Amino acid sequence: MALRQPQARFAVVGQPIDHSLSPHIHRAFARQWSVDLDYGRIELAPSALASGIARFAESGGVGLNVTLPHKQAVMALCAGLSERARRAGAVNTLSYVDGGWHGDNTDGVGLVNDLSQRRGIDLRARRTLLLGAGGAACGVAPALLDAGIGELVVCNRSPERADALVDALAAPERAHSRYWRDLPDLAHFDLVVNATSAGRGIEPLTLPFHLAGAQTVAVDLSYGRAAIDFLAWARAAGCGQAFDGLGMLVEQAAESFFLWQGVRPETDAVYADLRRLADGEAAAE
């Protein structure tokens, strides 16, 4: 597949969006391949999602990354969906093809690539707790199963959403739903993935310490300030390893870049640059 012509328009859409590092990441990828990339941020309220995305296409837009709170709602605007998007029930990457938007989901492969390739973590047979059942959780759950984890327990404050996610996974022997009130009764996990908004100024993060231990890997799908509370819990619970979602962000962006440009960028240098930036900002606070 040939690289797209110079100045094709790309962007990330969400609300809020000012904090997004996606423009920085995609511009770094573009420099590796000498692509003249136009990549911006678009803030849209849910009520303006359809009209805003239509205007973007009319103005020459050919690719969009989709973040909160639009990952599930944007599916209704797609003329076609990849198998990954269908399984996830959520979209984080849009490509304008033959006069319509095609939806894909690169979150799952982004998480798995960060953990298995960058961190060297063997995911096979790990008993996994997935906190949350929204668009981010839906995006990573199928990929975790494909990566060979053992039992997947989905826990959400809204029981119906946890049940719906597990039903959609269609893996009754491996995937099960539990409710937030059940957390004190659950046994130890080898992998804990936080895909909720708990601890981000919306609601407090309260998790029992016995869910994790020295062999547990803890991952928050967010990064920066949004991941502080969960990572603090992971340290207090004695988790052997704990990461925020910055590595996943870079890896899912690399998959989006490949879908749009037909070439795979190198991610380690981009991640290292963002890690230094994020750690520097945290030290300055």
* Catalytic status, residue 71: yes
Question: pTM to 2 decimals?
Answer: 0.93
Q: How many domains does the chain have?
A: 2
Annotated binding site: 20-22, 67, 83, 92, 107, 132-136, 221, 223, 245, 252
Annotated binding site for shikimate: 20-22, 67, 92, 107, 223, 252
CATH (domain of 85): 3.40.50.10860
Written as tens digits, the pLDDT of the chain (285 aa) is 444 444 689 999 999 999 899 999 999 999 999 999 999 999 999 999 999 999 999 999 999 999 989 999 999 999 999 999 999 999 999 999 999 999 999 999 999 999 999 999 999 999 999 999 999 999 999 999 999 999 999 999 999 999 999 999 999 999 999 999 999 999 999 999 999 976 555 567 889 999 999 999 999 999 988 899 999 999 999 999 999 999 999 999 999 999 999 999 999 999 999 999 887 665 444
Catalytic pick among 71, 84, 87, 126: 71
Residue 202 lies in domain: 108-244
266 and 224 in a common domain: no
Annotated binding site for NADP(+): 83, 132-136, 221, 245
98 and 64 in a common domain: yes
Q: Tell me, letter by letter, the H, E, C secondary structure of the chain.
A: CCCCCCCCEEEEEECCCCCCCHHHHHHHHHHHCCCCCEEEEEECCHHHHHHHHHHHHHCCEEEEEECCCCCCHHHHHCCEECHHHHHHCCCCEEEEECCEEEEECCHHHHHHHHHHHHCCCCCCCCCEEEECCCHHHHHHHHHHHHCCCCCEEEEECCHHHHHHHHHHHCCCCCEEEEEHHHHHHCCCCCEEEECCCECCCCECCCCCHHHCCCCCEEEECCCHHHHHHHHHHHHHCCCCEEECCHHHHHHHHHHHHHHHHCCCCCCHHHHHHHHHHHHHHHHHC
112 and 202 in a common domain: yes
127 and 100 in a common domain: no
220 and 149 in a common domain: yes
252 and 240 in a common domain: no
64 and 130 in a common domain: no
96 and 112 in a common domain: no
235 and 152 in a common domain: yes
- Asked, for residue 4, whether it belongs to a domain, the answer is no
196 and 81 in a common domain: no
CATH (domain of 125): 3.40.50.720
- Asked, for residue 172, whether it belongs to a domain, the answer is yes
